[in-house]
Amino acid sequence: MQQCDFAVIGGGLVGSAIAYGLASQGHQVSIVDEGDVSYRASRGNFGLVWVQGKGQEIPLYSQWSMRSASLWSALSQELAELTGVTTQHHNPGGVHLCYSQAELTSREADLKALARATNQQFQFNMLDHDQLRELIPEIGESVTGASWSSWDGHANPLYLLRALQAGVGFHGGSLLPVGRVKRIRRNGESYIIEGGQETILAGRVILAAGLGNRELAPQVGLDAPLVPNRGEILVTERMRPLLNLPTTYLRQTGEGSMLMGDSHEDVGFNDGTETPILAQIAQRAVRALPALATTRVVRSWGALRVMTPDGYPLYQASESHPGVFVACCHSGVTLAAAHAKCLAPWFAGAEAPAEISPFTAERFHVQTPVPA
């Protein structure tokens, strides 16, 4: 039987960032993973480190995202020095493209409200077409303008995942591909985790299994009402530099290929692709950058986001099972730095970050009073 201080169930971006944070603090950590048969959201992640537009309903989420974005460069450098794996993180700012004056006006109003709600911590600029062309010389004529924020950037999610897991190993942790975890049960002050191929004894347990948390959370007195939401992505051949900063739906990778996304589809656990959806993604991309019209697409894929009912993260400690926590979100790249540097210390006994206070499951069970 394997033994560890912390068992992090789930080896995706969320679990690996938390495990790296704990291991770098000197804790004995094991990532307990289902293996490559799992619905790995990180395989389909668009790679944005993104702040603008986030947290309009709950401004603390914007502040949580900004905290992570501010830590990202240092984390990326730290991982590169430890593991030799570069995440390709860049922070040139990012733009959200608007295709009409009405859309541009609405975007400005939303971001102004977000800036007020965060006491001007979140900052942005609105760009007309000519100003946008200075940033993206080949922008399409049908793009009216854009919002730009210095908070935004991008990285390679697969390199990030590799670096985090290598970092866990550097600090003495382990990755255990034990198959699907079937059961978690108490054993005195510790917990026994029963995987498909192995059993692990852990002092503390972090549920970071994405959609798998739906079944695991109730075993330890927690609630994880998660649903899958599919996104599809197109990837082009490598091409000349066209885009030196990321946009919400289009970014150029460090290797030169162009990523085009994203869709939001309620299709259950179907992580495939559909031609009409891919066609819409391609058409929107060509409107933004007409030079893409003659570029070859070399790959496409679908992946499942991990979504709570309101789209915001879920972080909670179990009251009935001390030392057990749940962590779920669909922004594993953006929040990787905060998960490693701010959330992991909470799991180890520090105070919880103030920004995560709204993100418990209780918010899903608030009953609206019935009028008398």
Task: Quick: pLDDT tens for 284-298.
Answer: 999 999 999 999 999
The whole-chain average pLDDT of the chain stands at: 94
Confidence tier at 41 by pLDDT (50, 70, 90) = low
Tokens matching residue 291: 């030079």
- The pTM for the full model equals 0.95
Res 209: pLDDT: 94
CA distance 14 to 192: 22
Q: What is the mean pLDDT of residues 93-106?
A: 97
Best CATH choice for the domain 93-151+227-307 from the list 3.30.9.10, 3.30.565.10, 2.40.50.140, 2.40.30.10: 3.30.9.10
Res 236: pLDDT: 96
Domain(s) labelled CATH 3.30.9.10 in the chain stretch across 93-151+227-307
DSSP classification of residue 309: T
Class in CATH terms, 2-80+157-226+310-363: alpha beta
Res 357: pLDDT: 97
Res 198: pLDDT: 86
Residue 326 dihedral angles phi and psi, to the nearest 5°: -125, 140
Residue 35 has pLDDT above 90, yes or no: no
Residue-wise pLDDT tens digits, 226-257 = 999 999 999 999 999 999 999 999 999 999 99
CA distance 248 to 299: 20
Are 107 and 99 within 8 A, CB to CB?
no
- Longest alpha-carbon distance in the chain: 66
Residue 371 has pLDDT above 90, yes or no: no
Residue 28 has pLDDT above 80, yes or no: yes
Residue-wise pLDDT tens digits, 53-98 = 999 999 999 999 999 999 999 999 999 999 999 999 999 999 999 9
Residue 125 has pLDDT above 70, yes or no: yes
CA distance 327 to 246: 27
Q: Which residues pair with 307 in a beta bridge?
A: 227
* DSSP strand pairing (29-33 vs 2-9): parallel
Alpha helices in the chain (DSSP H): 13-24, 59-83, 101-117, 129-135, 157-170, 213-216, 275-288, 336-338, 344-347
